Chains A and B, each alone.
Chain A
Amino acid sequence: MKRKKALFSAAAVMTLSTLFAGFGGIGGAFAATAHRAPIVNGGTMVQTFPTAFGLNFIPFLSTSAYTAQATAYSFDSILRFNRKDQLSADIVNKWSVSPNKLTYTFWINPKARWSNGTYITTADIKLGVDWLLSTSYNKTDGGAYGYLLSNVAGVPKSGYLPDGQTPSGFKILGPREFSVTLQQADAAALPAGLAAITPLPAQILGKIPMSKWKGSAFDLHPWVGSGPFITTSVVPGQSITQKANPYYVLGRPHIAQNVWKVISVDVVNGDLASGQVTIAGIHAIDAAQMKKVPNLNLSVVPTNGFDYLGWRLNNATFGSVFSQVKFRQAVEYALNRPAMIKALYAGYGTVENGPLPPINFWYNKALNGTYAYNPAKANALLNSIGMKIKNGWRTMPNGQPFTPTLTISSGNATIQRQADFIQHFLQAVHINLKINPPINFNTILNQLNSDANGKQPIQAFLLAWSLSNDPDPRGLWRSTDNLNTVTIDWTNPKDPAIQLNDKLIHESHGMAAYNINYRIATLNKWQALLNQQLPENFLFDQSTVTAYNKNLHGVVFTPYGNLDPQKWWLSTGN
């Protein structure tokens, strides 16, 4: 009923070393739901989207996260992340890396077939590669994934090639064997890019010029796929119906039919209770009530992401205060984050003191317990930078009044409550933070984007990032990264801390990072640096609360999503 705002989502990357070292930081922590009864085949499961989905179902084409979710059920990429968050076999079941770490060779699983029974070949792989690098794809708005292959040899700086042209780095070695050669060695190359190569059905799409793919019959309703569930019908704005793929490479799914339904988050609980929806995410605040519903189970898993309170360090009015590390540390001490988690998420969340959530394999455990709620320490820090208290409120060191404003987006009650709490706790340490009336999310983006001179009205803001499987800090945290400029503003190249930050990030994916211990050490150092510097005030991570019908079994809940739908099954009767 309300407009729910999607948070920022950034694709981060996973490094190769996990794969080879076989480290499973989180494996087993989130076990599959127990099933004692014999597995039953058949049945229909209903999953939900909170708002309408896009209508382009060719992989990578849609900008809608929901469409991407449905598309991911229909098209598998060559490798997948398993429940231990490691890369594992999918359409490709074998691969090797050359000693110079530049050439990767892949072998297609001999059992890999399209849903119509024909075998997946290197021609299909080539079409997928060509598509990601095509002019048609990259020139459309959906062309956001061209970067995945930008490190492949033969890809020009522009990042794309004429339609149908294959980069020189991609070689077909046989009907089931191909290799990819990179321009530069990169510890994150496979999980960050190559693993995402997705074969496309050359038998169908190969016959259509790429410029006509978008909006084609196949795009609107892809009737052939390589994933566990193949789309049978699409009702725009309402539902996508998919049936089990009998030839799925990881085994025929137990459930016969999967339906994605657009259901508002306010109603979804009712549909869960009545059994009309099989599995859906719910508000943490509703968990206690939903637990009482007899036919439902709940799953709570941490999310791989973080909420933060950002400060425009270059702000013309208060930037001189915001850019002081001690100020940001004082804020971190001043906020009672466990209390906020309890109020906002009924306790389903984790305090975060750095850029990675504690559930993450790469998390630096030394960060635990830092910045525990301590208003006295906050006051001491603020005193130490000369912010005196006058008439009950702290002033700037120069005696001017200090009245920063916090900008939040409209339409999201939780964010607005978060702001309320932050104001409440900062007032307790005499910081007179004002909350601006909520404004449109796009307006916030625009103002953050064009804030080079610090003259835009935004001074402080609340945002959240969700990360994906690997916490590659590139893209967000380097001082040169566009997103840093926009959403963090920790970019001063003269600041030694920032120089160190950039250096650590660079080292975390270079040749040396192929050594897992080296990479862990580097990332730990980096997290400790950010924990001390607090380029932004890290807050917490909200857990994902999923309610699902008791007759649904076999779901693998992980911080990265609910995995292995082909292994889920529905018991009959209730």
Chain B
Amino acid sequence: MATSMASNAGIKSRGAVVKGKSPSRLAFERFMRNPLAVAGTVILLAIIFVTVGAPLFTHYSPSAMNIMNTNAPPSAAHPLGTDQSGYDNLTRLLYGGRVDLTVAFSAGVMTLVIGTIYGGISGFFGGWIDNLMMRFVDVMLNFPFVVFILFLEAVFNTSGELLLITVVVLTSWPASGRFMRGVFIQLREQDFVIGATTIGAGTWRTIFRHMLPNTVGTLSVLVSFAVAGYVGLEAALTFIGLGLPLTVASWGGMLSDASNYTAMTTQPYLWLPPAIMIVLTILSVNFIGDGLRDAFDPQMRS
């Protein structure tokens, strides 16, 4: 008698077996229908392409200084001129992007990984574990960035990309940890997670099979916004002298070099390109982030 109902309530067979579209697949399709998100992706890929493939676009090496040709205005040989060390500015711009993107992406991913693990443990187990872990997050959230970066610089006797990534991650994970805790607490109360327990799934299965896959949307949105934020942060820190060494090619560094009255008013070729690259990168990543959010959470779309 149970089978008799198949005709009116079940999905009718359409001959060949049709495989369903997974939510990720659907999200991807929605993403690809969003013109801004696609534009953002294209721009970002283009930026990655020109930075990673920098040697294809310039035959200068980023470390080939020409002390006899410093502060040169734009010319055919140097479309953006040369800097005070005689480096080709276009070359520095392209190679500098590598540094910016490396810092932003690795810091973004690491922050999220740490945040997810920390927030996941805190949110899933709750109780005193959660309480203790969140108190620690409170402390870290209020921890002064400047103290941290100067401390690490002084103690490890170094500065550079690795230190910058470390500092960014050390100061940013608490926020993502707290956020992910909220996500996990919300998930923990979802019927399908409770349901997983009632069918006898263990803790780890519940976390990895049921909870984590359902954070993918949130995570990808968070990563994209984090990356956008860190591109700006790297530039800002380098700009005020707390980030990368000034001779390392980076967009923040180039901007910092050119951020004085004389350069700004008379040499726009020095500061406009890095400023545009920074803004363009952040903009494209933000478009992607928006697109991801709309794709994963279609109800939010207006």
Contacts and interface: CB of A to CB of B under 8 A. Distances in A.
A283 B71 CA distance: 14
A112 to B, nearest CB: 42
Interface stretch (B20-28, B241-249, B293-301): B241-249
B67 A2 contact: no
B67 A424 contact: yes
Looking at chain B's contact residues, is the secondary structure mostly helix, strand, loop, or mixed? loop
* Chain B interface residue number, banded: 20 to 34
Contacts, number: 96
B67 A421 contact: yes
Contacts of B239: 1-2
B101 to A, nearest CB: 20
B85 interface: yes
A306 B67 CA distance: 21
Given A267-B261, A285-B71, A336-B67, A411 B86 contact: no
B260 A283 contact: yes
Contact of A2 (B153, B154, B240): B240
Interface stretch (A22-30, A73-81, A338-346): A338-346
Contact of A413 (B150, B153, B257): B257
Contacts of A216: none
B241 A410 contact: yes
Contact of A265 (B70, B260, B265): B260
B261 A421 contact: no
A410 B67 contact: no
B67 A339 contact: yes
Nearest to B255: A1
B92 to A, nearest CB: 13
Contacts of A2: 239-241, 256
A413 B246 contact: yes
A457 interface: yes
B266 interface: yes
A443 interface: yes
A289 B154 CA distance: 38
A269 interface: yes
A285 B257 CA distance: 12
B158 A436 contact: yes
A286 B262 contact: yes
Given A267-B261, A269-B262, A410-B245, A340 B67 contact: yes
Contact of A416 (B71, B247, B260): B247
A437 B67 contact: no
B126 interface: no
Contact of A421 (B85, B157, B260, B266): B85
Nearest to B243: A410
Contacts of A442: 154
Contact of A411 (B67, B68, B158, B241): B241
Contact of A439 (B154, B241, B256, B257): B154
B65 interface: yes
Contacts of A344: 84
Contact of B247 (A268, A417, A440, A457): A417
Interface string B50-88: 000000000000000101101100000000000011100
B3 to A, nearest CB: 73
Interface in B153-204: 153-154, 157-160, 163
Interface string B200-243: 00000000000000000000000000000000000000011100
Contacts of A193: none
Contact of A270 (B67, B240, B257, B261): B261
A273 interface: yes
B259 interface: yes
Nearest to A458: B157
A285 B84 contact: yes
A343 B257 contact: no
A343 B85 contact: yes
A204 to B, nearest CB: 40
A3 B154 contact: no
A342 B86 CA distance: 11
B17 to A, nearest CB: 60
Contact of A343 (B86, B160, B256, B262): B86
Given A438-B245, A439-B158, A268 B261 contact: yes
Contacts of A419: 247
Given A269-B262, A413-B246, A439 B67 contact: no
Contacts of B262: 269, 283, 286, 289-290
B245 to A, nearest CB: 5
B69 to A, nearest CB: 9
Contacts of B150: 440
A269 B260 contact: yes
A399 to B, nearest CB: 28
Given A343-B67, A440-B153, A416 B245 contact: yes
A419 B150 CA distance: 22
Interface of B: 65, 67-68, 70-71, 84-86, 150, 153-154, 157-160, 163, 239-241, 245-247, 256-257, 259-262, 265-266
29 contacts: A2-B239, A2-B240, A2-B241, A2-B256, A266-B260, A269-B262, A270-B261, A273-B261, A285-B71, A285-B84, A289-B262, A339-B68, A340-B67, A343-B71, A410-B245, A413-B247, A416-B247, A417-B247, A419-B247, A420-B247, A421-B67, A421-B85, A435-B247, A437-B158, A437-B159, A437-B160, A439-B157, A443-B154, A443-B157
Question: Which 10 pairs between the two chains have the least Cβ-Cβ distance?
Answer: A270-B261, A266-B260, A269-B261, A411-B241, A343-B70, A413-B246, A286-B262, A3-B241, A416-B247, A437-B160
Given A285-B84, A343-B86, 19 more contacts: A1-B240, A2-B241, A3-B241, A267-B260, A269-B260, A270-B261, A339-B67, A339-B68, A340-B67, A343-B70, A344-B84, A410-B153, A410-B245, A416-B247, A417-B84, A438-B159, A439-B153, A442-B154, A443-B153
